[in-house]
Amino acid sequence: MQAPSVGGIMLPRGNGATVRLSRGASLTDFAEKINANPASLVQVMLNLGEMVTATQSVSDETLQLLADEMNYVVEIVSPEEEDRELLESFDIEFGENEGGEEMLVSRPPVVTVMGHVDHGKTRLLDAIRKTNVVAGEAGGITQHIGAYQVATEVNEEERRITFIDTPGHEAFTAMRARGAKSTDIAILVVAANDGVMPQTIEALNHAKAADVPIVVAVNKIDVEGADPTKVRGQLTEYGLVAEEYGGDTMFVDISAKQGLHIDSLLEAVVLTADAALDLRANDAQDAQGIAIEAHLDRGRGAVATVLVQRGTLRVGDTMVAGDAYGRVRAMFDDKGNNVEEAGPSTPVLVLGLTNVPGAGDNFLVVDEDRTARQIAEKRAARERNAAFAKRTRRVSLEDLDKVLKAGEVQQLNLIIKGDASGSVEALESSLLQLDVGEEVDIRVLHRGVGAVTETDIDLATGSDAIVIGFNVRAEGRATQRAEREGVDVRYYSVIYQAIEEIEAALKGMLKPEYEEVELGTAEIREVFKSSKLGNIAGVLIRSGEVKRNTKARLIRDGKVVAENLNIDGLRRFKDDVTEIREGFEGGINLGNFNDIKVDDVIATYEMREKPRG
Ligand code: GDP
C-alpha cells in the first residue's frame, strides 16, 4: 500500500521569489499572485494537514506554511501599511504635513479627560464647556458633537484647547487600538476625597502607553475630607511627580461642581503642551484627520464628527473617512453654527457622507469623487477580509519565540489583573526579575485589581500585549472581544505557574500540550503475508473507527507490546480506504512492523492539542 496520491498536482515552485499578501488573504489571492490554480493550493494545504477552502481568509501562519512548502517567501502586509500603500497609489500621503517648516502654524492641543468612575470627568467636561466659550461666540451651547473647543488666556494671549467630549478612556483606547492618535494631552481626574483608584491607574497606564503627557486635575476639593496632598503622594508611586515636588507633572486642585480653578487647569494644559510638545500643522493643505463619532440620522443621513488634524476642511470638499466617502454638504461647529471651513485641531460635524465611519477612522480630502469612491471601496473590501484573519494576528505565548526570532518584538508587553493588589504586585515583581537574556524586555503596561475588562483587551490590542488574569476572570464582553481581536488572555491561580510559563515562552520552550484521543480498536482475525508489504492484519473493527495515517499501539493479552506504530495502509476488500468503522472488516498494514498475531488488538489514537486553561 502506498501513501495517498496527491491527485497528480504539480506543486507550484517559487524558487525563493517573494509574494506580498495582505493580512487575511485567501488561497485564491495567493494563487492569483503566482498564477496558479487555487484548487492546487487547497490540495497542498490538505497534504499539510489543514482543511481550508479557496476563498476563506487564512492566518499569517497558514500563508507562511504554504509559502514555505512551495518555496516562496511570503511578505504579509499590515493593514496600516496597506492603507498607506493604497493612498500612495493615488499619490496621497497620510499623516504628514505637506511642505517644509515654513508651512507650519501652531495648532491647539487636543485633550482627553480620563480617570476613575465618579471622580468627575463628565462634570469637568461640562464645567469647561460652560465657563469657557470662545470669545465672540457667546451664546447657547447646545450641541454635543463628541468634541468641543474652548479659549483661555495664558500670558495675555488667547489660546484654544480642543476637548474630546467622551469621558473615560474607552474611546481613547478604542481609537488607539485602531492605530489612530487622537489625543495630545490627557487630563487625569482624581477625586481628592477618594484618592487614586484602580481606573485611575488604568487611565494613567493608557496615557503612558500612548506616550501622551498628563495633567492631573485633583477634583472635588470642596468636599469635606478632601486631601489633595495625599493624591500627589499616591501618584508619585506611579511616576507622576508634581512640579512642586520637583517633578514635571502639573497638578491643579479643582472643583468641577463649583467651577473652581478651571482656568488654572486650562492654563496647565497649555503650559504642558508648550513645554512637552511641538503642536504645529500645515493649515493650507487638503484636510486630514480622524473621525471621532458618527451616527445615522433619519433626516440628514450619515452624520460624523471629525477632528481636523492638518489642512483645512471646507464645504464642498470631497472626503473619504474610513470606508465612507462623499462631498461635504454642510458643516457645523460645536455650538451648532454653520461653518464654511475648519482648520487644524478643530472638531466639526460633517454632513454628506455615504455611510457611517467608525470612531478612530482616518479621513482625508481628495481631488476627485472617483478617487474617494475607489479608496472607500478598497478599504471596505479589506475590512471584510481582515475581520476573518484578525483572530490569529496577535502575539500569543506559543508563537512568542518565533516572533522574537523574526525580530518583530523585542519587548513582551503584559497586562496583569488580579484579585488583590498584593498578589498583582508580587506577580509583577517576579516577572520583572526574570532573566531572559538581553534581547527581550518584559514591560508591564498595566496592572490592576479586578476582572479582565474590555478596556484591558483594547489596551492589549493596541500594544500587542498578553493579558494575565490572576485569580480573576474576564468580565462583560471582554472574552468575546479578546477572541475577536486575537488577544492572548491567560488565567492562573498559582504565581509560580504563571512565572514558569512566561519564562518558558521567552526561552522558546513553551510547546503546546497534546493529549491522546483514542480513535478505535481493531481485533486481528487473520495474518496475511505479502512479499511486498510484509504482514498484513485481517481485522474486525471492535470500536470507534480506524483511520489511515494515525498512530497505533499493539496490545496482546491486555498488555501493550508495541508503541508508536503507524496505520500505513488500510483496505476494505481490494480498495484502499481512509477509514473503517466499527463492525466492519478490513486489512491493516503497520508499515515495517510485522510482529502481529491473531487475537492481538490494534488500538489507534491521535494526538490533539490540548486547550490550555
Ligand atoms: P464621572 O463618572 O467621572 O464622569 O463622574 P461625574 O462627572 O458623573 O461625577 C460623579 C459625581 O460626582 C456626580 O454626582 C457629580 O455631581 C459629583 N462631582 C463631580 N465633581 C465634583 C466636585 O468638584 N465636587 C463635588 N462635591 N461633587 C462633584
Q: Whose CA is nearest to atom 24 of ligand 1?
A: 220
Cα 504–chain centre separation: 24
**CA 125 / ligand 1 centre spacing (Å):** 11
Cα 424–chain centre separation: 24
- pLDDT in the model for residue 138: 47
Residues pairing with 161 in the sheet = 150
What is 106-280's CATH topology?
A: Rossmann fold (3.40.50)
| CATH class assigned to 391-511 | alpha beta
Check the annotation: does 589 bind a ligand: no
| CA–CA distance, 38 with 1 (Å, rounded to integer) | 29
| CA–CA distance, 351 with 116 (Å, rounded to integer) | 34
Using the atom order of ligand 1, give the atom closest to the CA of residue 260. 23
527-573: pLDDT as tens digits: 988 888 889 999 999 888 999 889 999 988 888 888 889 999 999 88
- pLDDT in the model for residue 474: 82
> 515-609: CATH homologous superfamily?
Translation factors (2.40.30.10)
| CA–CA distance, 109 with 20 (Å, rounded to integer) | 39
| Region(s) of the chain under CATH 3.40.50.300 | 106-280
- pLDDT in the model for residue 459: 84
- Order of strands, edge to edge, in the sheet holding 147-154? 147-154, 157-164, 110-115, 185-191, 214-219, 251-253
Instruction: Output the nine-digit C-alpha cell for 360.
Output: 478612530
- Kindly state the percentage of the chain with pLDDT values over 90: 39
If one residue of 117, 123, 197 were mutated to test the ligand 1 pocket, choosing by the most ligand atoms within 8 A of its CB, it would be 123
Q: Please tell us whether the domain made up of 282-367 is placed in CATH 2.40.30.10.
A: yes
Does the C-beta of 387 come closer than 6 Å to ligand 1? no
Check the annotation: does 122 bind a ligand: yes
| CA–CA distance, 545 with 605 (Å, rounded to integer) | 10
Does the C-beta of 380 come closer than 6 Å to ligand 1? no
| CA–CA distance, 2 with 571 (Å, rounded to integer) | 11
Instruction: Output the nine-digit C-alpha cell for 445.
Output: 503596561
Using the atom order of ligand 1, give the atom closest to the CA of residue 254. 23
Using the atom order of ligand 1, give the atom closest to the CA of residue 119. 3
**CA 118 / ligand 1 centre spacing (Å):** 6
Cα 594–chain centre separation: 53
3-state secondary structure of 469: strand
| CA–CA distance, 112 with 186 (Å, rounded to integer) | 5
Task: For residue 289, give the H/E element and its range.
Answer: strand 288-297
**CA 497 / ligand 1 centre spacing (Å):** 42
β pairing state of 185-191 and 214-219: parallel
Q: Note the pTM of the prediction, 2 decimals.
A: 0.60
Using the atom order of ligand 1, give the atom closest to the CA of residue 255. 23
Check the annotation: does 49 bind a ligand: no
Q: Which amino acid is at 49?
A: G
| Region(s) of the chain under CATH 2.40.30.10 | 282-367, 515-609
Residues of the chain with pLDDT under 50: 1-8, 135-136, 138-141, 168-169, 389-393, 612-613
Does the C-beta of 118 come closer than 6 Å to ligand 1? yes
The greatest distance separating any two alpha carbons of the chain, rounded to the nearest whole angstrom, comes to 103
Q: How many residues does the chain have?
A: 613
Cβ atoms within 10 Å of 322's Cβ, excluding its own:
25
- pLDDT in the model for residue 279: 95
Q: Whose CA is nearest to atom 22 of ligand 1?
A: 220
- Order of strands, edge to edge, in the sheet holding 466-470? 441-449, 411-418, 466-470, 489-492
| CA–CA distance, 132 with 397 (Å, rounded to integer) | 50
Contact predicate 463/413, CB 8 Å? yes
CA torsion, ordered 443, 446, 449, 451, to nearest 10 deg = -110
First vs last C-alpha separation in the chain: 41
| CA–CA distance, 587 with 596 (Å, rounded to integer) | 13
3-state secondary structure of 298: coil
Produce one character per residue of 401-421: b if its CB has 16 or more CB atoms within 10 Å, e if not: beebeeeebeebbbbbbbeee
| CA–CA distance, 33 with 36 (Å, rounded to integer) | 8
| Backbone CA torsion sign across 122, 124, 125, 129 | positive
Does the C-beta of 261 come closer than 6 Å to ligand 1? no
Check the annotation: does 121 bind a ligand: yes
3-state secondary structure of 390: helix
Closest CA to 535 of 93, 1, 118, 8: 1
3-state secondary structure of 183: coil
Please spell the DSSP secondary structure of 558-587, one letter per residue. Answer: TEEEEEEEE--EEEETTEE-SEEETT-EEE
Q: Which amino acid is at 484?
A: R
- pLDDT in the model for residue 532: 80
- pLDDT in the model for residue 143: 62
- pLDDT in the model for residue 512: 56
